[in-house]
Amino acid sequence: MSAKTVGMLALAALCGFVGGLVSQWTERLSTPTSLQVVRAVRFELVGPDGKPLAYWGGSEKGIVLAFTGMGKNELAALGLQPGGRSPFVELAGYDGKPRAVLELGDGDKPVLEMSDAGYEGRVILGATATDAPSPLNDSWALRFRSPEREDLAAIGMFGDRGKLSGTLYANKKGRIWSAP
């Protein structure tokens, strides 16, 4: 063999070797690696302008999946209250104030609280807590409240130690009517 042929074979082998290395390197860059666990404190979904639209992580409300939309306030949130003790769903007005909150209260009983911009807790539907919560308490009501958090009207079922009774209540300027 001539020196020219040996040189051509060596150059071809070297080019093949370099091509194989480049191929493996680019394949590793384009092929995602499979991860078993992804850990982070917070995940954010951002819009085209880079502003957050939603996040999943911790907040003063607990562990939440929250949607902010185009504003800065949370408009909807689903999560666990601080300490992971109770799940909740919250819908808020554009001002960020809660308008509807569904949560599990004492004894894991559901409570739906509806509000307006003026104050929280205007209408409450669900389990009611007593001054001394007990697993034997089985009271449920639809309550209408004043800004001072005073019940103005209620209809419900109240039970304690297996004894159930229905009630209807109205309070007009200090004059209270109730049945039975």
- pLDDT over 70 at 32, yes or no: no
Lowest mean pLDDT among 22-31, 57-66, 162-171: 22-31
Token look-up 């800065």 returns 72
- pLDDT over 60 at 31, yes or no: no
CA torsion through residues 70, 74, 80, 86, sign: negative
- pLDDT over 70 at 143, yes or no: yes
